[in-house]
Amino acid sequence: MNTSTSQYHISNKRGLPINFDLRFPESTKPAPAIIIMHGFKGYKDWGFLPYIAEKLAEAGAITVNMNFSTSGIIDPVNRKYNVELFASMTITELLSDAKLVIQSLPNYLSDESWNGEIYLLGHSLGAAIAVLVASEIKGISKIAMWGSISTFQRYSERQKADWREKGALQFVDMKIGQQMKININYLEDIEKNFHNFVIIDSIKNVNASILILHGAQDKTATLREARALAASAGEKVELRIIENTGHAFGAEHPLQKPPPKAVEKVLIETGVFFGLEKWI
């Protein structure tokens, strides 16, 4: 099945652009819309994200592959960031960006192409944002969580003390050797608005079917986190552990050809979960 792709952007409250790629399947009947949300240092053109957006569109869905406004990416091929923009990230703004994209869908999708259904697919931090969005916005019917975190409280007391003293938490992205940082606003936002168990609590209130896909060797978001999310969600969730793979399911940037078997596995399982034509 062929697809067509267009690029758009909308502006958030700070006037920052939220860029997204909109892919339509070659179909004569209205399709569901899948919004794809990247992780902490991710962006819509990273690794497997364009690939899965294309494959899900080929399978019969409209896909909306979005950048959060503070992804900071300025060179998606070589993974170079606007460090100051990235540093200004907060969970509150990520959540607001995701809501804005969802609320803007009717401006880009017609009744002829869209059946009104909204599905979310998030990786890592993006999966957590998807849960928070679905707990607040009605109409989300399915969520696929790839390698999701279960809490935003991921920092030691020593790290937080140093963060407060310096005004930013600095780190090096070892893949590209770029010095990165995240401002104190991020920590303050978490402490003020998102207590330890907010994701686990929020998933209880989601009126959607949920699929959690998690690598058995995930060292970024552990299996304990996946199991805690599944236990909190109850009967509406399916937890599937993918053996012999980690947080990115074996993917690198740029994506290998052919893609890793684990990426293909979670893609197919997600397509089946979403009920797309190719896999039902």
- Look up residue 9 and give its two tokens: 């952007």
Amino acid at 240: R
CB 33 within 8 A of CB 24: no
| Segment 170-191, tens digit of pLDDT | 999 888 899 999 999 999 999 9
Give the integer Cα–Cα distance in Å for 59 and 193: 38
State residue 255's pLDDT score: 98
| pTM for the model | 0.97
DSSP one-letter code for 9: E
Give the integer Cα–Cα distance in Å for 249 and 39: 14
Give the integer Cα–Cα distance in Å for 110 and 36: 20
State residue 174's pLDDT score: 86
State residue 27's pLDDT score: 80
Domains of the chain: 3-151+195-279 (3.40.50.1820)
Closest CA to 81 of 68, 92, 99: 68
In which residue are the tokens 């089946």 written?
272
State residue 1's pLDDT score: 61
State residue 280's pLDDT score: 57
What's the gap between Cα 152 and its chain centre? Answer: 14
Strands (E), the chain: 3-11, 17-25, 31-37, 62-66, 73-75, 80-81, 114-123, 140-146, 168-173, 178-183, 209-215, 237-242
Burial class (CB in 10 A: 0-12, 13-18, 19+), 107: exposed
Give the integer Cα–Cα distance in Å for 250 and 238: 22
Identify the segments of the chain with pLDDT beneath 70. Answer: 1, 280
CB count within 10 Å of CB 138 equals 8
Percent of the chain with pLDDT over 70: 99
